[in-house]
């Protein structure tokens, strides 16, 4: 099966893990600190905080910003559910905002403005598929209303612009991301005080960590805030240090594959549209396409699967999931819903060669032709 995404792991990662095991120190030590420093340098930041997941990163950012009960946070529904869940974690209310268009499936500023109230305290921008939102427009929007900007950058590691939009950015290193630590995440926050609050809250609100106490004269510590167990361990950090060395090269390969896909689609699948037709900075995390309206998406999924090609959907809209439908009944986001009904994600990762991309597009063209014939016959 050709997978939608596939981590690249090998001998260097195995060697790095072996060194951690041989060291006898498994969590929150020198490798975590080295990973934080290296990740920060790549993004032009002074420092960052490594955590257990992007979900944890989002939760910690909102918590450290003091967002809580009675507050509202603008979020897209075209995202992974964790974006909205993190708002609920702090007791605030997620307010779902429609996308700009099928070509730019990022949160609409006009729709965001319409949904702002006196209780709105923040907006979470999701860099969907790795494509960056417009920083200047959103910064003007946020300044005019006194809002915090939080970036959900799960799809966009390696871009220096990320982490500069507003208060903080949350990254994911899950197994299907551009680089992986299996599970894991990070926060870039340029305000040192905010970053320190996030760092302390990641480890139960303790004033020192285990490794710090090992190297100090006293084993004493205090707890001065409510905290969480969101630490990254040494094994994940060791993998991350290796992966980070390859991230820029892998992102460039992704870009080249996307360019190839666009050319092949225009020739062989002209009925398919590809979002982000205009140039835009991206980490090229996934390859979303929009199927023509005459196609039954499940039929295309089944035909591609029969050819050994995995596909998936990004995303089932969060506001239509049972939990959120019950919490916020009557929410209707027409552009998000239309996009989500027609979107299909095809394989994109650095191991895809030109012949593989050509085979994927050929299989898609055959599936679309089959669907069109079935529709005509009906």
Task: Read off the CATH number of the domain in which 69 is found.
Answer: 3.40.640.10
Q: How many CB atoms lie within 10 A of CB 40?
A: 18
Confidence at residue 244, expressed as pLDDT on a 0 to 100 scale: 98
pTM: 0.94
Asked whether residue 82 falls in the same domain as residue 231, the answer is yes
Band of pLDDT at residue 51, cut at 50, 70 and 90: very high
Domain span including residue 97: 11-242
Per-residue pLDDT tens for 85-97?
999 999 999 999 9
Average pLDDT over residues 324-353: 98
Asked whether residue 237 falls in the same domain as residue 350, the answer is no
pLDDT at 213 over 80: no
Asked whether residue 186 falls in the same domain as residue 169, the answer is yes
Closest CA to 233 of 25, 5, 3, 59: 25
Asked whether residue 76 falls in the same domain as residue 97, the answer is yes
What are the beta bridge partners of residue 123? 74, 149
Contacts 24+ apart (CB under 8 A), 337-340: 338/102, 339/78, 339/99, 339/102, 339/105, 339/290, 340/78, 340/313, 340/315, 340/316
Asked whether residue 65 falls in the same domain as residue 198, the answer is yes
Asked whether residue 201 falls in the same domain as residue 152, the answer is yes
Per-residue pLDDT tens for 216-268?
666 788 999 999 999 999 999 999 999 999 999 999 999 999 999 999 999 99
Active site residue 160: no
Count of the separate structural domains present in the chain:
2
**Which of the residues 19, 121, 160, 177 is marked catalytic?**
177
Asked whether residue 86 falls in the same domain as residue 147, the answer is yes
- Determine the Cα–Cα distance for residues 301 and 180; give it in Å rounded to an integer: 27
pLDDT at 209 over 80: no
Asked whether residue 261 falls in the same domain as residue 225, the answer is no
> Does 268 fall in a domain?
yes
> Does 281 fall in a domain?
yes
pLDDT at 36 over 70: yes
> Does 5 fall in a domain?
no
Confidence at residue 230, expressed as pLDDT on a 0 to 100 scale: 97
Confidence at residue 221, expressed as pLDDT on a 0 to 100 scale: 84
From the number of C-beta atoms within 10 Å of its C-beta (0-12, 13-18, 19+), residue 327 rates as: middle
- Determine the Cα–Cα distance for residues 131 and 134; give it in Å rounded to an integer: 10
Average pLDDT over residues 31-41: 98
> Does 188 fall in a domain?
yes
Asked whether residue 113 falls in the same domain as residue 190, the answer is yes
Alpha-carbon distances, residue 283 vs 87, 251, 258, 323 (angstroms): 25, 6, 11, 31
Average pLDDT over residues 152-157: 98
Per-residue pLDDT tens for 130-146?
999 999 999 999 999 99
Task: List the single range of 24-33, 171-180, 320-329 with lowest mean pLDDT.
Answer: 24-33
Asked whether residue 309 falls in the same domain as residue 224, the answer is no
For the chain, what is the mean pLDDT? 95
pLDDT at 28 over 90: no
Last residue of a domain, one of 217, 242, 267: 242
- Determine the Cα–Cα distance for residues 285 and 217; give it in Å rounded to an integer: 46
> Does 3 fall in a domain?
no
> Does 2 fall in a domain?
no
pLDDT at 206 over 70: yes
Asked whether residue 200 falls in the same domain as residue 77, the answer is yes
Percent above pLDDT 90 for the chain: 92
Band of pLDDT at residue 112, cut at 50, 70 and 90: very high
> Does 201 fall in a domain?
yes
Last residue of a domain, one of 201, 216, 242: 242
CATH number at 327 reads 3.90.1150.10
Check if the beta carbon of residue 93 is closer than 8 Å to that of residue 100: no
Check if the beta carbon of residue 114 is closer than 8 Å to that of residue 93: no
Asked whether residue 68 falls in the same domain as residue 208, the answer is yes
Q: How many CB atoms lie within 10 A of CB 376?
A: 8
> Does 80 fall in a domain?
yes
Last residue of a domain, one of 242, 277, 311: 242
């Amino acid at each position: 099966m050709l997978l939608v995404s596939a981590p690249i792991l090998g001998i260097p990662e195995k060697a790095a893990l072996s060194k951690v095991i041989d060291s006898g120190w498994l969590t929150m030590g020198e490798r975590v600190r080295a990973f934080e420093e290296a990740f920060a340098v790549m993004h032009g930041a002074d420092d960052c905080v490594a955590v257990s997941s992007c979900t944890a990163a989002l939760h910690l950012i909102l918590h450290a910003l003091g967002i809580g009960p009675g507050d509202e946070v603008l979020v897209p529904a075209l995202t992974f559910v964790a974006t909205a869940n993190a708002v609920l974690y702090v007791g605030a209310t997620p307010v779902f905002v429609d996308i700009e268009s099928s070509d730019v499936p990022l949160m609409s500023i006009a729709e965001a403005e319409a949904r702002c109230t006196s209780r709105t305290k923040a907006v979470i921008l999701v860099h969907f598929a790795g494509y960056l939102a417009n920083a200047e427009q959103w910064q003007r929007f946020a300044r005019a209303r006194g809002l915090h900007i939080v970036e959900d950058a799960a799809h966009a590691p390696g871009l220096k612009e990320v982490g500069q939009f507003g208060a903080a950015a949350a990254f994911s290193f899950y197994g299907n991301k551009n680089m992986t630590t299996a599970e894991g995440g990070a926060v870039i926050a340029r305000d040192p005080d905010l970053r320190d609050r996030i760092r302390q809250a990641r480890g139960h609100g303790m004033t020192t960590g285990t490794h710090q106490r090992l190297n100090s004269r006293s084993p004493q510590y205090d707890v001065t805030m409510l905290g969480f167990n969101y630490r990254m361990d040494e094994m994940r950090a060791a993998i991350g240090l290796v992966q980070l060395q390859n991230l820029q090269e892998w992102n460039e390969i992704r870009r080249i594959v996307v360019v190839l896909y666009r050319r092949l689609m225009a020739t062989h699948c002209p009925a398919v549209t590809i979002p982000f037709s205009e140039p835009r900075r991206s980490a090229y995390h996934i390859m979303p396409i929009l199927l023509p309206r005459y196609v039954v998406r499940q039929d295309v999924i089944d035909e591609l699967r029969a050819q050994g090609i995995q596909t998936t959907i990004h995303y089932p809209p969060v506001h239509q999931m049972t939990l959120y439908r019950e919490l916020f009944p009557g929410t209707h986001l027409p552009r998000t819903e239309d996009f989500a009904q027609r979107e299909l994600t095809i394989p994109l990762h650095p191991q895809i060669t030109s012949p593989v991309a050509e085979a994927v597009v050929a299989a898609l063209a055959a599936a679309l032709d089959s669907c069109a014939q079935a529709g005509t016959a009906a």
